[in-house]
Structure 1
Protein backbone atom coordinates (compact mmCIF):
# COMPACT_ATOMS: atom_id res chain seq x y z
CA UNK A 1 0.00 0.00 0.00
CA UNK A 2 1.50 3.31 -1.05
CA UNK A 3 -0.44 6.49 -0.43
CA UNK A 4 -3.81 7.60 0.83
CA UNK A 5 -4.97 11.00 -0.37
CA UNK A 6 -1.40 11.91 -1.23
CA UNK A 7 0.10 10.93 2.14
CA UNK A 8 2.14 7.78 2.80
CA UNK A 9 -0.30 5.14 4.06
CA UNK A 10 2.09 4.08 6.83
CA UNK A 11 1.78 7.48 8.50
CA UNK A 12 -2.00 7.09 8.63
CA UNK A 13 -2.17 3.37 9.47
CA UNK A 14 0.32 3.61 12.30
CA UNK A 15 -2.12 5.79 14.23
CA UNK A 16 -4.65 2.95 14.21
CA UNK A 17 -2.07 0.56 15.67
CA UNK A 18 -1.02 3.12 18.29
CA UNK A 19 -4.64 3.30 19.49
CA UNK A 20 -5.95 -0.23 18.90
CA UNK A 21 -3.10 -2.37 20.23
CA UNK A 22 -2.87 -0.57 23.60
CA UNK A 23 -6.68 -0.61 23.85
CA UNK A 24 -6.73 -4.37 23.23
CA UNK A 25 -3.95 -4.82 25.80
CA UNK A 26 -5.81 -2.83 28.46
CA UNK A 27 -9.03 -4.72 27.73
CA UNK A 28 -7.08 -7.97 28.01
CA UNK A 29 -5.99 -7.12 31.55
CA UNK A 30 -9.51 -6.03 32.50
CA UNK A 31 -11.10 -9.19 31.11
CA UNK A 32 -8.48 -11.46 32.64
CA UNK A 33 -8.95 -10.13 36.19
CA UNK A 34 -12.45 -8.66 36.40
CA UNK A 35 -15.40 -11.04 35.86
CA UNK A 36 -17.88 -8.26 35.05
CA UNK A 37 -15.58 -6.93 32.32
CA UNK A 38 -15.00 -10.47 31.07
CA UNK A 39 -18.74 -11.01 30.65
CA UNK A 40 -19.17 -7.88 28.58
CA UNK A 41 -15.82 -7.35 26.85
CA UNK A 42 -14.06 -10.70 26.31
CA UNK A 43 -15.80 -11.35 22.97
CA UNK A 44 -15.41 -7.82 21.61
CA UNK A 45 -11.76 -7.82 22.69
CA UNK A 46 -11.11 -10.97 20.65
CA UNK A 47 -12.53 -9.16 17.60
CA UNK A 48 -10.53 -6.00 18.34
CA UNK A 49 -7.32 -7.97 18.90
CA UNK A 50 -7.81 -9.99 15.72
CA UNK A 51 -8.51 -6.84 13.69
CA UNK A 52 -5.35 -5.27 15.09
CA UNK A 53 -3.39 -8.41 14.27
CA UNK A 54 -4.56 -8.15 10.65
CA UNK A 55 -3.77 -4.43 10.52
CA UNK A 56 -0.18 -4.79 11.76
CA UNK A 57 1.24 -6.49 8.63
CA UNK A 58 -0.66 -4.07 6.41
CA UNK A 59 0.97 -1.20 8.32
CA UNK A 60 4.36 -2.91 8.10
CA UNK A 61 3.95 -3.32 4.34
CA UNK A 62 3.10 0.36 4.02
CA UNK A 63 6.16 1.11 6.14
CA UNK A 64 8.34 -0.91 3.80
CA UNK A 65 6.94 1.07 0.88
CA UNK A 66 7.84 4.30 2.67
CA UNK A 67 11.27 3.04 3.75
CA UNK A 68 12.14 2.41 0.11
CA UNK A 69 11.43 6.09 -0.62
CA UNK A 70 13.31 7.89 2.16
CA UNK A 71 17.04 8.13 2.91
CA UNK A 72 18.39 5.18 4.90
CA UNK A 73 19.62 6.25 8.34
CA UNK A 74 20.54 4.39 11.52
CA UNK A 75 17.41 5.80 13.20
CA UNK A 76 15.25 4.44 10.38
CA UNK A 77 16.93 1.04 10.66
CA UNK A 78 16.24 1.02 14.43
CA UNK A 79 12.60 1.87 13.80
CA UNK A 80 12.26 -0.84 11.15
CA UNK A 81 13.75 -3.48 13.44
CA UNK A 82 11.55 -2.46 16.35
CA UNK A 83 8.51 -2.24 14.07
CA UNK A 84 8.89 -5.92 13.21
CA UNK A 85 8.15 -6.79 16.86
CA UNK A 86 4.63 -5.34 16.67
CA UNK A 87 3.41 -8.50 14.99
CA UNK A 88 4.57 -10.62 17.93
CA UNK A 89 2.95 -8.27 20.44
CA UNK A 90 -0.35 -8.22 18.54
CA UNK A 91 -0.27 -12.02 18.17
CA UNK A 92 0.34 -12.56 21.89
CA UNK A 93 -2.46 -10.17 22.87
CA UNK A 94 -4.82 -11.91 20.44
CA UNK A 95 -3.98 -15.39 21.76
CA UNK A 96 -4.49 -14.33 25.37
CA UNK A 97 -7.74 -12.56 24.45
CA UNK A 98 -8.89 -15.86 22.94
CA UNK A 99 -7.84 -17.77 26.05
CA UNK A 100 -9.73 -15.34 28.29
CA UNK A 101 -12.84 -15.49 26.12
CA UNK A 102 -12.69 -19.29 25.89
CA UNK A 103 -12.42 -19.64 29.68
CA UNK A 104 -15.47 -17.41 30.04
CA UNK A 105 -17.32 -19.47 27.43
CA UNK A 106 -16.45 -22.69 29.27
CA UNK A 107 -17.52 -21.16 32.58
CA UNK A 108 -20.93 -20.33 31.11
CA UNK A 109 -21.24 -23.83 29.70
CA UNK A 110 -20.54 -25.56 33.02
CA UNK A 111 -22.35 -23.15 35.35
CA UNK A 112 -24.89 -25.02 37.40
CA UNK A 113 -23.39 -28.38 36.40
CA UNK A 114 -21.55 -30.44 39.03
CA UNK A 115 -17.75 -30.44 38.70
CA UNK A 116 -16.50 -33.01 36.26
CA UNK A 117 -19.87 -33.42 34.56
CA UNK A 118 -18.67 -31.55 31.46
CA UNK A 119 -15.17 -31.57 30.09
CA UNK A 120 -13.35 -28.24 30.06
CA UNK A 121 -9.87 -27.45 28.80
CA UNK A 122 -9.04 -24.18 30.55
CA UNK A 123 -10.38 -24.91 34.06
CA UNK A 124 -12.82 -21.99 34.30
CA UNK A 125 -13.63 -22.73 37.95
CA UNK A 126 -10.02 -23.06 39.10
CA UNK A 127 -8.83 -19.93 40.92
CA UNK A 128 -5.18 -20.90 40.45
CA UNK A 129 -5.59 -21.09 36.68
CA UNK A 130 -7.41 -17.75 36.76
CA UNK A 131 -4.46 -16.16 38.56
CA UNK A 132 -1.96 -17.68 36.11
CA UNK A 133 -4.03 -16.46 33.13
CA UNK A 134 -4.31 -13.02 34.75
CA UNK A 135 -0.58 -12.76 35.39
CA UNK A 136 0.34 -13.96 31.89
CA UNK A 137 -2.24 -11.59 30.36
CA UNK A 138 -0.86 -8.69 32.41
CA UNK A 139 2.72 -9.45 31.37
CA UNK A 140 1.76 -9.72 27.71
CA UNK A 141 -0.27 -6.51 27.88
CA UNK A 142 2.59 -4.67 29.59
CA UNK A 143 5.05 -5.93 26.98
CA UNK A 144 2.69 -4.87 24.16
CA UNK A 145 2.30 -1.38 25.63
CA UNK A 146 6.06 -1.02 26.03
CA UNK A 147 6.60 -2.31 22.49
CA UNK A 148 4.18 0.25 21.04
CA UNK A 149 5.98 2.97 23.00
CA UNK A 150 9.42 1.89 21.74
CA UNK A 151 8.27 1.61 18.14
CA UNK A 152 6.50 4.98 18.24
CA UNK A 153 9.44 6.70 19.88
CA UNK A 154 11.89 5.30 17.34
CA UNK A 155 9.59 6.32 14.49
CA UNK A 156 9.28 9.85 15.81
CA UNK A 157 13.05 10.09 16.20
CA UNK A 158 13.58 8.74 12.68
CA UNK A 159 11.09 11.27 11.28
CA UNK A 160 11.93 14.38 13.26
CA UNK A 161 15.58 14.28 14.35
CA UNK A 162 17.24 17.29 12.74
CA UNK A 163 14.12 18.29 10.81
CA UNK A 164 12.99 21.26 12.87
CA UNK A 165 14.45 24.46 14.22
CA UNK A 166 15.21 24.71 17.92
CA UNK A 167 14.33 28.40 17.76
CA UNK A 168 11.23 30.18 16.51
CA UNK A 169 11.37 31.06 12.83
CA UNK A 170 10.63 34.75 12.62
CA UNK A 171 8.30 34.42 9.61
CA UNK A 172 6.13 31.96 11.56
CA UNK A 173 5.94 33.84 14.88
CA UNK A 174 2.62 35.56 15.43
Structure 2
Protein backbone atom coordinates (compact mmCIF):
# COMPACT_ATOMS: atom_id res chain seq x y z
CA UNK A 1 0.00 0.00 0.00
CA UNK A 2 1.94 3.00 -1.30
CA UNK A 3 -0.95 5.36 -1.96
CA UNK A 4 -4.14 6.51 -0.32
CA UNK A 5 -6.78 7.48 -2.89
CA UNK A 6 -4.02 8.02 -5.44
CA UNK A 7 -1.87 10.19 -3.18
CA UNK A 8 1.60 8.86 -2.27
CA UNK A 9 1.74 7.81 1.37
CA UNK A 10 5.42 8.73 1.77
CA UNK A 11 4.81 12.42 2.61
CA UNK A 12 2.27 11.43 5.28
CA UNK A 13 4.64 8.91 6.84
CA UNK A 14 7.53 11.36 6.53
CA UNK A 15 5.63 13.88 8.63
CA UNK A 16 4.95 11.19 11.21
CA UNK A 17 8.67 10.36 11.28
CA UNK A 18 9.58 14.05 11.56
CA UNK A 19 7.49 14.22 14.72
CA UNK A 20 8.07 10.78 16.27
CA UNK A 21 11.85 10.54 15.87
CA UNK A 22 12.76 13.88 17.52
CA UNK A 23 10.06 13.32 20.15
CA UNK A 24 11.55 9.92 20.98
CA UNK A 25 15.06 11.35 20.97
CA UNK A 26 14.17 14.21 23.32
CA UNK A 27 12.17 11.89 25.58
CA UNK A 28 15.14 9.52 25.76
CA UNK A 29 17.56 12.35 26.62
CA UNK A 30 15.25 13.48 29.42
CA UNK A 31 14.83 9.89 30.66
CA UNK A 32 18.56 9.21 30.89
CA UNK A 33 19.50 12.65 32.25
CA UNK A 34 16.84 13.19 34.90
CA UNK A 35 16.21 10.34 37.38
CA UNK A 36 12.80 11.68 38.43
CA UNK A 37 11.65 11.83 34.81
CA UNK A 38 13.00 8.32 34.26
CA UNK A 39 10.88 7.02 37.14
CA UNK A 40 7.86 8.93 35.88
CA UNK A 41 8.28 7.75 32.28
CA UNK A 42 9.08 4.16 33.23
CA UNK A 43 9.19 2.07 30.10
CA UNK A 44 7.33 4.83 28.22
CA UNK A 45 10.56 6.16 26.72
CA UNK A 46 11.23 2.71 25.31
CA UNK A 47 7.68 2.51 23.90
CA UNK A 48 7.91 5.97 22.31
CA UNK A 49 11.21 5.01 20.68
CA UNK A 50 9.65 1.78 19.45
CA UNK A 51 7.06 3.84 17.57
CA UNK A 52 9.91 5.71 15.84
CA UNK A 53 11.56 2.37 15.00
CA UNK A 54 8.34 1.13 13.39
CA UNK A 55 7.66 4.37 11.47
CA UNK A 56 11.17 4.62 10.01
CA UNK A 57 11.21 1.55 7.72
CA UNK A 58 7.60 2.17 6.71
CA UNK A 59 8.56 5.67 5.61
CA UNK A 60 11.65 4.41 3.80
CA UNK A 61 9.70 1.69 2.02
CA UNK A 62 7.02 4.12 0.87
CA UNK A 63 9.77 6.48 -0.26
CA UNK A 64 11.39 3.76 -2.33
CA UNK A 65 8.08 3.21 -4.13
CA UNK A 66 7.72 6.93 -4.78
CA UNK A 67 11.33 7.11 -5.97
CA UNK A 68 10.49 4.75 -8.84
CA UNK A 69 7.98 7.26 -10.25
CA UNK A 70 9.97 10.45 -9.59
CA UNK A 71 12.71 11.89 -11.82
CA UNK A 72 16.05 11.68 -9.99
CA UNK A 73 17.94 14.87 -9.16
CA UNK A 74 20.96 15.42 -6.88
CA UNK A 75 18.83 16.50 -3.91
CA UNK A 76 16.58 13.47 -4.27
CA UNK A 77 19.61 11.19 -4.48
CA UNK A 78 20.94 12.75 -1.26
CA UNK A 79 17.51 12.42 0.37
CA UNK A 80 17.34 8.72 -0.55
CA UNK A 81 20.90 8.07 0.65
CA UNK A 82 20.33 9.79 4.01
CA UNK A 83 16.89 8.22 4.43
CA UNK A 84 18.34 4.74 4.05
CA UNK A 85 20.65 5.45 7.01
CA UNK A 86 17.97 6.70 9.41
CA UNK A 87 17.01 3.21 10.57
CA UNK A 88 20.50 2.71 12.03
CA UNK A 89 20.19 5.81 14.21
CA UNK A 90 16.71 4.91 15.42
CA UNK A 91 17.41 1.20 15.96
CA UNK A 92 20.58 2.04 17.88
CA UNK A 93 18.67 4.54 19.99
CA UNK A 94 16.00 1.95 20.72
CA UNK A 95 18.61 -0.62 21.78
CA UNK A 96 20.45 1.90 23.96
CA UNK A 97 17.33 3.21 25.74
CA UNK A 98 16.12 -0.35 26.31
CA UNK A 99 19.43 -1.38 27.90
CA UNK A 100 19.50 1.83 29.93
CA UNK A 101 15.97 1.24 31.18
CA UNK A 102 16.86 -2.32 32.17
CA UNK A 103 20.01 -1.17 33.96
CA UNK A 104 18.15 1.58 35.82
CA UNK A 105 15.04 -0.44 36.66
CA UNK A 106 14.64 -2.59 39.72
CA UNK A 107 14.39 -5.97 38.07
CA UNK A 108 15.30 -7.92 41.20
CA UNK A 109 11.66 -8.83 41.83
CA UNK A 110 11.80 -11.11 38.78
CA UNK A 111 13.53 -14.32 39.78
CA UNK A 112 14.77 -15.09 36.27
CA UNK A 113 16.90 -11.92 36.19
CA UNK A 114 20.44 -12.61 37.45
CA UNK A 115 21.83 -10.45 40.23
CA UNK A 116 24.23 -7.86 38.81
CA UNK A 117 26.84 -6.13 41.00
CA UNK A 118 26.14 -2.41 41.53
CA UNK A 119 29.42 -1.33 39.92
CA UNK A 120 28.48 -3.12 36.67
CA UNK A 121 24.99 -1.67 36.74
CA UNK A 122 26.44 1.82 37.31
CA UNK A 123 28.88 1.34 34.45
CA UNK A 124 26.06 0.14 32.17
CA UNK A 125 23.99 3.21 33.10
CA UNK A 126 26.90 5.56 32.36
CA UNK A 127 27.73 3.95 29.02
CA UNK A 128 24.11 3.77 27.91
CA UNK A 129 23.43 7.34 29.07
CA UNK A 130 26.23 8.64 26.87
CA UNK A 131 25.19 6.34 24.01
CA UNK A 132 21.55 7.45 24.19
CA UNK A 133 22.51 11.13 24.17
CA UNK A 134 24.85 10.74 21.18
CA UNK A 135 22.36 8.62 19.20
CA UNK A 136 19.44 10.90 20.07
CA UNK A 137 21.28 14.01 18.94
CA UNK A 138 22.47 12.18 15.82
CA UNK A 139 18.91 11.09 15.03
CA UNK A 140 17.63 14.65 15.33
CA UNK A 141 20.38 15.97 13.07
CA UNK A 142 19.74 13.15 10.58
CA UNK A 143 16.01 13.92 10.43
CA UNK A 144 16.84 17.56 9.69
CA UNK A 145 19.31 16.58 6.95
CA UNK A 146 16.85 14.13 5.37
CA UNK A 147 14.01 16.64 5.49
CA UNK A 148 16.17 19.40 4.03
CA UNK A 149 17.26 17.23 1.11
CA UNK A 150 13.69 15.99 0.56
CA UNK A 151 12.24 19.51 0.58
CA UNK A 152 14.91 20.74 -1.82
CA UNK A 153 14.24 17.81 -4.16
CA UNK A 154 10.55 18.72 -4.30
CA UNK A 155 10.68 22.51 -4.35
CA UNK A 156 13.96 23.17 -6.17
CA UNK A 157 14.30 19.99 -8.25
- Shorter chain as normaliser: what TM range? 0.7 to 0.9
Distance (Å, rounded) in 2 between the aligned partners of 1:47 and 1:129: 20
Match of 1:21 in 2: 21
- Cα RMSD between the aligned structures? 2.0
Counterparts in 2 of 1:52-67, with a 5 A limit? Answer: 52-67=52-67
Match of 2:129 in 1: 134
Moved beyond 6 Å, runs of 4+: none
- Runs of 5+ in structure 2 lacking a partner? none
Distance (Å, rounded) in 1 between the aligned partners of 2:68 and 2:56: 18
Normalised by the length of structure 2, the TM-score is: 0.87
Match of 1:87 in 2: 87
Q: Which has the larger radius of gyration?
A: 1
Residue aligned with 1:71, SS: coil
Q: Is the 8 A contact 1:31 1:100 kept in 2?
A: no
- Runs of 5+ in structure 1 lacking a partner? 111-117, 163-174
Which structure carries more helix by proportion? 2
Number of matched pairs: 152
Q: Is the 8 A contact 1:42 1:100 kept in 2?
A: no
Match of 1:145 in 2: 140
Match of 2:73 in 1: 73
Residue aligned with 1:109, SS: coil
Distance (Å, rounded) in 2 between the aligned partners of 1:86 and 1:69: 22
